[in-house]
Structure 1
């Protein structure tokens, strides 16, 4: 009997020393595995219960899905919304106490929307070199109802702070608080794919544009002394005698304010607005070396009336200069170069061409759907 009792005690002792293996972490994902028609605007979320995520790899078709862990590494989220009508594959690994692993492999497909919205145009063009005042003008293929969601998906990488301002349901414009530093590089990406822009309407695809800011060329036009001074990187490059609008009517008055150069033509056909052939002051001329600075027909251009330039304002609203100096300005101008006009009774409207610098910074911020300065990524200025 003593032997039996001793054996029983030994078995109890061994049983008391047994190691208890903890359960494996539970790994889940949203959208759920095998989901069909998953909403893309919620993105992809992977969670670990009872452990920490060590690896998450997701593919949209053949493309890797970008994402990030939270601080505790218990949650991983995709950086942006998901592509509509796309197959996704997800592999995730989590490790719990004592190195016990939990795994997840899942597939799902996002919904195919009833309507899609895309970017109809982006200004400036990809790879373009622009002036220091250049805005980013984004136009959509259809009206955007959920402006806040779309605005969150628009990312700008640059050296200075800026913000978006909506000019109607189909256009939004980005402008820095102060003009771009010369020779900086700017990158814009619309992470639009999968963003819910309205009922049954989702972004169709992402789009990226990168551009470079050139030298800082700023021109100041004083219509009272009939002079334009062009500075490049703060150094005077040209002093140009000019003739501005004669100001006999509103349309023949040059607008005062911060203009931006918009486009160039050599020659440009200019026709008197609201007049027919035979009417007083009717004209229909081809004008050389013309650089547009507004939508109301204002250009800096060449004109042979050298006798008036530097002496009197005799134009129909444009700023004209001698052919040689107008050609110099034409050849050196980039889209987005500021042309600051003073001395007239007519003010440049913010919606006349690219008159966005006429809007104060607080008023500009009020046009954001987020009502705040957006997050931006600082990039290095310089070549």
Structure 2
């Protein structure tokens, strides 16, 4: 048997397809001892039996219930789960947890609704005799209007992001069983980290590590949502896999007092720009202090004061086109070129956006990844945790306490801290 270690507390043991070594198998029967002299073979004192639940032929099985396999008179050597129409790779791969004496196996993940499933289990006695048992059953289909689907996610597969980038998942329906859904979303990174999910409303889940991601690594997110009962009678219908790359570490800091913006790349300062931030005569013109993340960028962007509640035709109104704009909040804050501002590095005169010289704004635009930290210090307006991607404003202890499972996830290991399975009735 290969690929097994004892289960650890609060974390399921992921065994791939539980490929424990496929040994020679007989038909689905109890093995018999060999005899000589023409005598009838006799059953062993402890016949090898294997039981699979759900049982063969079962229909409309709840997809959020686990598959269990038990061996008596021997140990399990192989369990395979095949779902019709699925390749069994990536987020669709069914892994399982084996107990210490290798007599009980439980599936880690839920099953696709409305699917035909086949479980094949092999067990072996201490003498090397084996038996194979199969159970084929079908799962309950999800009903229209009660099918949880993924509406959007950040980042998307193939993207290179900054070290502060969270995983943001938005669903099309409200989620009430948040701990189960959290437990179905597996985050694996090449460089281990402690992380956890938080919820912002009932439809948006956000994962972030305790500290910034280590740079120059790949991260995989397996959203094993198919079959999870997100709310009463609402089931996830599809699994998804996201693969993204954490690039170099770039952390920028804007100091309200010095009127400077500095940029550090992999621990070394590479830029020092003069800037002019919000004039702060009213709150909406005060740049928010705190740990922001760069969110999106535009080479050309029309900035309209009406989007922040100031009519364009009012004395403080404006509508102008700016270049090299990089968003870092949802309250209208961008770094951008401001060639009209002749007080860069001297005074704060903007309506909240950090103004930069055109060449400096262009450099920042061209060298920013989504998820790069941008820290503003010195103002009396604090960034809210839900203003854009202000998730680093929440301390790690508070973030962990707001996780539905309440347990940190080690991204260096497969699995999650909890269980996505529902309770039996």
**TM-score normalised by structure 1 residue count:** 0.90
1:121 aligns with 2:165: no
| Aligned residue number for residue 5 of structure 1 | none
Write the distance in 1 (CA, Å) between the matches of 2:122 and 2:96. Answer: 15
Write the distance in 2 (CA, Å) between the matches of 1:99 and 1:209. Answer: 42
Could you say if the C-alpha distance between residues 171 and 100 of structure 1 is closer, same or farther in structure 2, counting changes exceeding 3 Å? same
Deviation, structure 1 residue 226: 0.8
Where in structure 2 are there 5+ consecutive unaligned residues? 1-36, 89-93, 415-425
**TM-score normalised by structure 2 residue count:** 0.82
Deviation, structure 1 residue 96: 3.3
| Aligned residue number for residue 96 of structure 1 | 125
Write the distance in 1 (CA, Å) between the matches of 2:77 and 2:147. Answer: 36
Q: Please give the per-residue CA displacement for 1:153-209, whole angstroms capped at 9, x wherever unaligned.
A: 111112211111111111110111111111121111111111111211111111111
Could you say if the C-alpha distance between residues 26 and 313 of structure 1 is closer, same or farther in structure 2, counting changes exceeding 3 Å? same
Deviation, structure 1 residue 78: 2.3
Deviation, structure 1 residue 50: 2.1
Structure 2 residue matching 1:294: 3-state secondary structure: coil
Which stretch of the first structure deviates more once superposed, 284-293 or 180-189?
180-189
| Aligned residue number for residue 13 of structure 2 | none
Q: Which of 216, 238, 243 lines up with 1:205 in the alignment?
A: 238
Is the 2:255–2:378 contact (alpha carbons within 8 Å) kept by the matching residues of 1? yes
Could you say if the C-alpha distance between residues 202 and 337 of structure 1 is closer, same or farther in structure 2, counting changes exceeding 3 Å? same
Write the distance in 1 (CA, Å) between the matches of 2:41 and 2:310. Answer: 97
Structure 1 residue matching 2:363: 3-state secondary structure: helix
Is the 2:184–2:223 contact (alpha carbons within 8 Å) kept by the matching residues of 1? yes
Write the distance in 2 (CA, Å) between the matches of 1:57 and 1:344. Answer: 58
Structure 2 residue matching 1:137: 3-state secondary structure: strand
Q: How is 1:232-271 mapped onto 2 (pairs within 5 angstroms)?
A: 232-271=265-304
Write the distance in 2 (CA, Å) between the matches of 1:208 and 1:243. Answer: 42
Write the distance in 1 (CA, Å) between the matches of 2:300 and 2:343. Answer: 22
Q: Which of 173, 177, 182 lines up with 1:142 in the alignment?
A: 173
Q: How is 1:1-383 mapped onto 2 (pairs within 5 angstroms)?
A: 21-22=43-44, 24-61=47-84, 63-64=87-88, 65-96=94-125, 98-114=127-143, 115-158=146-189, 159=191, 160-272=193-305, 273-378=308-413
| Aligned residue number for residue 24 of structure 2 | none
Write the distance in 2 (CA, Å) between the matches of 1:216 and 1:97. Answer: 54
Is the 1:24–1:95 contact (alpha carbons within 8 Å) kept by the matching residues of 2? no
Structure 2 residue matching 1:163: 3-state secondary structure: strand
Is the 1:24–1:101 contact (alpha carbons within 8 Å) kept by the matching residues of 2? no
Structure 1 residue matching 2:119: 3-state secondary structure: strand
Deviation, structure 1 residue 77: 2.3
- Larger relative helix fraction: 1
- Larger relative strand fraction: 1
Structure 2 residue matching 1:42: 3-state secondary structure: coil
Structure 1 residue matching 2:64: 3-state secondary structure: helix
Structure 2 residue matching 1:352: 3-state secondary structure: coil
Structure 1 residue matching 2:141: 3-state secondary structure: coil
The structure with the larger Rg is 1
CA RMSD of aligned residues (A): 2.1
Write the distance in 2 (CA, Å) between the matches of 1:42 and 1:378. Answer: 24
Write the distance in 2 (CA, Å) between the matches of 1:105 and 1:262. Answer: 50
| Aligned residue number for residue 9 of structure 1 | none
Which stretch of the first structure deviates more once superposed, 176-185 or 51-60?
51-60
| Aligned residue number for residue 11 of structure 1 | none
Q: Please give the per-residue CA displacement for 1:324-346, whole angstroms capped at 9, x wherever unaligned.
A: 11101110011111111111111
Write the distance in 1 (CA, Å) between the matches of 2:129 and 2:366. Answer: 69
Deviation, structure 1 residue 72: 1.6
Is the 2:200–2:386 contact (alpha carbons within 8 Å) kept by the matching residues of 1? no
Deviation, structure 1 residue 100: 4.8
Could you say if the C-alpha distance between residues 102 and 221 of structure 1 is closer, same or farther in structure 2, counting changes exceeding 3 Å? same
Could you say if the C-alpha distance between residues 310 and 375 of structure 1 is closer, same or farther in structure 2, counting changes exceeding 3 Å? closer
Deviation, structure 1 residue 69: 3.2
Structure 2 residue matching 1:40: 3-state secondary structure: coil
Is the 2:256–2:377 contact (alpha carbons within 8 Å) kept by the matching residues of 1? yes
